[in-house]
Amino acid sequence: MSVPAKPASGPSAGKSLGTGRLELVQGDITQQDTEAIVNAANRHLAGGGGVDGAIHRAGGPAIMQELRATYPQGCPTGSAVVTGGGRLKAKYVLHAVGPVYRGVPEDAGLLADAYQACLALCTQLGIRSAAFPSISTGVYGYPVEGAAPIALRTVADYLRAHPDLALARFVLFDAKTLAVYQRALDALP
């Protein structure tokens, strides 16, 4: 299947859920102006490649300083912690730890837990808009075809039940990932 060319960023698709909205865009999560952006972090909160490296580069050293000072034990898989956004437009970064894909039944639950932990933090902190990357589908090896329905269902269910969250935007880095999320969104009940 050929994928139509998409702009580097900008609205691509969306769905209204309750009073909230779920959007899919292709782009760079560090450039988002949502109140929070989500990082695909590791258990040591130590920084890394992929989206994690990009967020720390764009946000500056304050984010890592806060992580070291506040969460020296790191963060278990399936959980999330919050820091300020440093130099980012976003006020908060939610550092979520998705599973390293092992091909076992527990993978799906841990992936859903990572999104759920971010959503709970949004409610706790009064965050009304958040941008999510495709957690675990880079270095952590989770197949996008398996991860996208879990990610979208978890966020969609939360939006339907929590009018306090107005916007959840998935920011997908490449056209192929966006296309898989698009198909999963179309199939969402």
Does the protein bind ligand ADP through residue 52 (CB under 6 A)? yes
Does the protein bind ligand ADP through residue 3 (CB under 6 A)? no
- CA dist 131 and 134 (Å) reads 10
Strand order, beta sheet including 20-26: 11-17, 20-26, 167-172, 129-132, 36-41, 92-97, 80-84
Does the protein bind ligand ADP through residue 75 (CB under 6 A)? no
Beta bridge partners of 169: 23, 131
Does the protein bind ligand ADP through residue 177 (CB under 6 A)? yes
157 is catalytic: no
Q: Which of 52, 157, 174, 186 is catalytic?
A: 52
Tell me, what DSSP letter sits at residue 129? E
Does the protein bind ligand ADP through residue 78 (CB under 6 A)? no
CB of 18 to ligand ADP, least distance (A): 26
- Cα of 178 vs its chain's centroid, Å: 13
Question: What is the binding site for ligand ADP (CB under 6 A)?
Answer: 28-30, 40, 50-52, 54, 98, 133-140, 171, 173-174, 177
